[in-house]
Chain A
Amino acid sequence: MGQPPLSQRIQRLERELGIRLFERSSRHVTITHGGTLLLAEAREILTRSEALLATARRIRDGESGLLRAALPPDVSGETIAALLADFADRQAGTELELHELTTAQQLDRFGAGALDVGLVHHPCDVSGLEIGPLLRRELGVLLRHDHPAAQLTDVPLAALTGHDLVLFPRADAPALHDELLTTCARNGYTPTAVRHGQSPSFIRGLILSSQAVAFSPRDTQPAPPHPQIIWRHLAGTPLAWRHSVAWRQGHRDAAVDAFAEAVTQALWGTDTVSMDQPLPPLHLRPTAEYWL
């Protein structure tokens, strides 16, 4: 927009609102106090109008009333039930097409424009996405009942030294796999060996027979608990699954918002979830090539 039309638009807006938005001198333009007070609300209106346009686009594209959504396989059945009920309340006119997809599968579908919203595990490549708040599902440790650390209420990671770790296969989520091992190392636990396995029976077998340990959220523990396997908090809660709802950049609309809200509420309601922890210090090394 050229300078004169912009000035005219601002003057018209000031007349309409009945307040001055900018102080103008011959050289400078500065925003007024009144203008600053209106700014946050104006931005919000712009975001809302973008959401309206996104919804309109979906209707135009013939996808009216359908939300293609995904959840990772590790969300509990109770959480899914709660979220489906809540979503139906919030967005009665929208049909929810819900898929069980890993984070990698969700990213592929986002890239192809075949998914509207999903719950992803971090770390993941967020290019082209926007994300909701990070939710943290604390991980505790599974130990054989006679492990010395089973006597503690909060187990320091370093107390696991000397024991093998059973972890999901690295190829399933290499970034998360490496991040967990780095956090273990940072907190004084470098497993003697990492043994890859996924199924509850395999993990139980290794814990019982070879005194290996495994990490797990509390909410996935069987009730009643296994008589010989104990779940314990980790001291300082260093490990967690980090989730957030994600959607394609610029494609947020009422249905996406409703799904994001329903997922967040359901996870809060049925799982041991907390908001993300404060960010730790970050020391950039010279090879980083950037600096703030």
Chain B
Amino acid sequence: MTRTQDHIRTAFADAAVTGWLHACDIDTGAEVGLHPDHPVVTASVHKLCLLVALHQRAEQGDFDLTEQIEVPPTGRTFGLTGLGAMLDPARVSLRDAAYLMMSVSDNIAADLLLERVGLDAVNRTTTQLGLAHTLAVHTFRQLLDTIKKDAGPSGTRALSDPHTITRLTALDPARTNRSTPRDMTRLLSCIWRDEAGTPDHGAAIRRLLGLQVWPHRLASGFPFDDVHVAGKTGSLPTLRNEVGVVEYPDGGRYAVAVFTRAANTAATLPAADAVIGTAARIAVDALRAPRTRRRSGT
């Protein structure tokens, strides 16, 4: 195990999480990993795959991203953000629904888009980009329904019981939407190198990743005003994930994918959120070491 891997492992242990990470320099391909090919549950990180598939279908002329969709208030029972939290009938364009899906992880917006794009198209997109271990097997509503079913009659409060956690099929990569850290940095690299679509579509996808509002995970590791962080989180009971790209003003850009599982079943665990940033920073610092050494002339 290298020193960097050891630092990352220690950071995860210190935050009481099990973690899997892959980070790479988008331009040189240099990489850092801690079990980067381990199957992981994507949860809302899969919204990134959906976003890319949405843009690919739009590029093929299947629909126009400015097309308006009507969102009736019925059936919005699963969300604390975006359309999922709104009370009245709404009307948004496909691309604005994508904005809500990416910026605040809006599950209603995500399933509306998934209805248009189709699960098969999402999987075709990831396969075609070479993500051999990435697969979506259900919609976001179906995913939350498995949790509701496994949690049983006590509902939300049962999620802090370790017995419930051992029962959740949503936490088993073999039975839910899944990927690997390395697959996710490959996807991000494709997006940043305009290999997932035309430059226009690439720019639109990158813009949305940069509009995510959460500051507590990946971004927390880079408290620098001149560094740009774009990403998408994913969360389920005991799971905290984020994949994203960190860009420095000297042109260095790094794709990072961090997936964690906490020992504690509590829903509020600031240290488990923050370690995603800490681990990403250790990885990015290691990738930047040749560059920073060169600049300081040593």
Contacts and interface: CB of A to CB of B under 8 A. Distances in A.
Interface of A: 122-127, 129-131, 134, 171, 174-175, 178-179, 182, 244, 249, 279-292
A126 B238 CA distance: 10
Contact of A174 (B13, B160, B165, B236): B13
Interface stretch (B55-63, B65-73, B148-156, B277-285): B148-156
Given A284-B267, A289-B44, A130 B166 contact: yes
B160 A279 contact: yes
A290 B236 contact: yes
A292 B163 contact: no
A151 to B, nearest CB: 34
A174 B18 CA distance: 12
Nearest to B237: A290
Contacts of B154: 279
Q: Which of B16, B233, B266 has the most A CB atoms < 10 Å from its CB?
A: B16
Contacts of A175: 16, 262-264
Interface stretch (B26-34, B76-84, B186-194): B76-84
Contact of B267 (A123, A174, A282): A282
B162 A123 contact: yes
A125 B157 CA distance: 19
Contacts of A134: 161-163
Interface of B: 13-18, 43-44, 78-81, 84-85, 104-105, 107, 144, 147-148, 151, 154-163, 165-166, 171, 214, 216, 233-238, 261-268, 271, 273
16 contacts: A125-B238, A125-B263, A126-B165, A127-B18, A131-B163, A174-B14, A175-B264, A178-B264, A179-B264, A280-B157, A280-B160, A287-B233, A289-B105, A291-B107, A292-B148, A292-B159
A125 B18 contact: yes
State the 3 A-B residue pairs at the shortest beta-carbon distance, nearest first: A175-B16, A175-B263, A123-B264
Contacts of B151: 292
B107 to A, nearest CB: 8
A287 to B, nearest CB: 6
A124 B104 CA distance: 30
B266 A291 contact: no
Nearest to A286: B80
Contacts of B80: 284-286, 288, 291
Contacts of A279: 154, 157-158, 160-161
Contacts of A283: 267
Contacts of A123: 16, 162, 262-266
A253 B158 CA distance: 27
Contacts of A285: 80, 267-268
Contact of B159 (A127, A178, A244, A282): A282
Contacts of A131: 162-163, 166
A182 B264 CA distance: 12
A158 B259 CA distance: 37
A292 B84 CA distance: 12
A286 B171 contact: no
A179 B263 CA distance: 11
Nearest to B151: A292
B271 A292 contact: no
Contacts of A178: 16, 264, 271
A289 B236 CA distance: 7
Given A175-B262, A178-B271, A285-B267, A292 B155 contact: yes
A122 B162 contact: yes
A286 B79 CA distance: 8
